């Protein structure tokens, strides 16, 4: 059994040795120049940070919602990262879903639906906006809504 184990370990050691790189040979009758091509490949990768759960204080017409931010990105030159936001734009009363408070999620240019990102550091700051009139018309109670962020990797249009 010891001889079998020793043979197995010796073969394993031989198999794990690195292979020699092949080299071009130049002799005196050849051109003194030779070319070597170096290649590598990087798979696309990205990390996107999106806003988390947020509490809107009663009567605030604008609440910071955080940012969509590309933390890291190594993407193809003809590709982009797209982040889309979907919501029905209504905070629903937890006791009576027919009672709602309308809201929008905005960036610096107005209501946000989609952002396009090309590199690490790209970001969009978001706010939740509720008009004073909508606050004044709201019933008492707890309200909530779900915002869905969809991140995709796609061709640049």
Helix H, strand E, coil C: the string for 81-122 is EEEEEECCCEEEECCCCCCEEECEEEECCEECCEEEECCCCC
State the DSSP string of 14-28: HHHSPPPPP-----T
Q: Of residues 23 and 10, which shows the higher confidence score? A: 23
Please, which pLDDT band fits residue 10 given cuts at 50, 70 and 90?
A: low
Please, which pLDDT band fits residue 17 given cuts at 50, 70 and 90?
A: low
Classify residue 105 as exposed, middle or buried by CB count within 10 Å of its CB (0-12, 13-18, 19+): middle
Query: How high does pLDDT run on average in the chain?
Result: 89
CA angle 99, 50, 117 (to 5 degrees): 120
Read off the pTM: 0.76
What element of type H or E holds 143?
A: strand 143-144
Predicted pLDDT of residue 22 = 61
Residues 42-59: tens digit of each pLDDT: 999 999 999 999 999 999
The whole-angstrom separation of Cα 146 and Cα 157 is 29
Please, which pLDDT band fits residue 12 given cuts at 50, 70 and 90?
A: low
pLDDT at 68 over 90: yes
């Amino acid at each position: 059994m010891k001889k079998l184990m020793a043979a197995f370990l010796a073969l394993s050691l031989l198999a794990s040795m690195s292979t020699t790189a092949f080299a071009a040979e130049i002799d005196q009758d050849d051109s003194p120049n030779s070319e070597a091509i170096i290649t590598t490949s990087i798979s696309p990768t990205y990390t996107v940070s999106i806003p988390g759960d947020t509490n809107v204080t009663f009567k605030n017409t604008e609440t910071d919602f955080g940012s969509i931010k590309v933390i890291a990105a190594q993407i193809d030159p003809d590709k982009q990262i797209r982040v889309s936001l979907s919501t029905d734009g209504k905070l629903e009363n937890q006791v009576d879903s027919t009672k709602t408070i309308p809201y929008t999620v905005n960036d610096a240019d107005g209501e946000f639906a989609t952002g396009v990102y090309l590199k690490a550091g790209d970001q969009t700051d978001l706010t939740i906006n509720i008009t004073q009139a909508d606050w004044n018309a709201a019933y008492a109670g707890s309200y909530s809504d779900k915002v869905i962020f969809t991140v995709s990797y796609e061709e640049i249009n």
